[in-house]
Amino acid sequence: AVGGRDSLVRIFDVRSSNGSNAAPVTEFKGHKSAVTCVKFRTNSLQLFSGSEDRCIRHYSLDELAYVETLYGHQAAVMSIDCYRQERPISIGRDRTMRAWKIAEDSHLIYRGGSLVQPPDSLAVVKDNWFVTGHEDGLLSLWSTEKKKPAHLVQEAHGAGNGIASCNSVKGSDLLATGSKDGFVRFWKVSTGRLFSDRSIDPIGKVPLHGFVNDIAIASDGRFCVAAVGQEHRLGRWDRVSKSKNRFTIIRFNSNNNHDETGDDQEEQELVESNPYNAYPSSGNNADDDYSSSGDDTSTNGQ
């Protein structure tokens, strides 16, 4: 699914596409302004799109049909994400985060406070947990059961660097964030029962020059793809010179030779001397059984 500034959502079938001449299977009209985000619900053909027209539109690609429009945001919708439950999470320029209960035709509203800058990026970690990245560099961990954030990381990418993108391996504790500070940063997200057990802790970083405008992580956690540009995806108020507009692939090497007794210290050790290390999750994953070790596995593609 692709959203454009022409307010259209185009659907492609990659199984039958013919290279650069691929034609969309269908196009959905309805948005009255630029489409800012599209997202599938995990392991389904339910699709959600957000727009500068403040609306979220819901589609079923089983029937290639539009389903409904979700109203509530008072400003442009910036990002949307969804995991297994039929409960997408969205963020907007109105400084709110919203959890949409599709079956109940209602939604919950979360506010960071009047002093918090609007969120630019969003990642659902688990069905009841999500992370937001803000213009002022704030990284916030939220539970859908609480109205206030469970944990905050100030200036996650350094002073003056907003969080332009973030994504997670759904159901695990691995989070990746991007900005313009020259790094894709990796974090361990802890969502324990106790307040003291909830945190976002840095576990490594990979050098990447330019604005990291989006990050996609493979469902099996073996690699991630970063969309890098000279400028922020939403405007031209800042520019990173000598950066190239490109996609960058960061691969995570799998290491299945660790000691079966449970001593994973060597496997989890971060090799600081190699700046291109791809850092893994801490090993507390719920839905995956992969692990990674640090090797120079970054490759660039344009």
Cα–Cα distances in angstroms (integers) from residue 101 to residues 33, 88, 98, 144, 167, in the given order: 24, 8, 10, 11, 22
Region 287-292: mean pLDDT is 32
Closest CA relative to residue 5, chosen from 36, 30, 28: 36
Q: Rounded distance, CA 75 to CA 59, Å?
A: 22
Q: Whole-angstrom Cα distance, residue 287 to residue 271?
A: 26
Smallest CA-to-CA distance from 42 within 167, 176, 139 is with 167
Question: pLDDT over 90 for what percent of the chain?
Answer: 72
Average of pLDDT values for 96-113?
94
Token pair listed for 54: 């403040």
Report the alpha-carbon distance of residue 123 to residue 187 in Å, rounded: 12
Other CB atoms within 10 A of residue 1 CB: 17
pLDDT band at 255 (very low <50, low <70, confident <90, very high): low
Read off the pLDDT of residues 37-62 as tens digits, 9 standing for 90 and up.
Answer: 999 999 999 999 999 999 999 999 99
pLDDT > 70 fraction of the chain, expressed in percent and rounded: 82
Q: For 214-233, what is the mean pLDDT?
A: 92
| CA-closest candidate to residue 230, choices 278, 139, 175, 164 | 164
Task: Tell whether the model's pLDDT for residue 276 goes beyond 60.
Answer: no
Q: Is the pLDDT of residue 282 over 50?
A: no
In the prediction, which pLDDT does 20 show? 67
The pLDDT value recorded for residue 235 is: 80
Tokens matching residue 19: 């290279």
What pLDDT, on the 0 to 100 scale, is given for residue 252?
84
Q: Say if residue 75's pLDDT is above 90.
A: yes
Q: What is the pLDDT of residue 254?
A: 61
pLDDT tens digits, 132-168: 999 999 999 999 999 999 999 999 999 999 999 999 9
Q: What pLDDT does 113 receive?
A: 85
**pLDDT tens, residue by residue, 89-104:** 999 999 999 999 999 9
Q: What is the mean pLDDT of residues 184-210?
A: 95
pLDDT, the chain, mean: 84
Residue type, 237: W
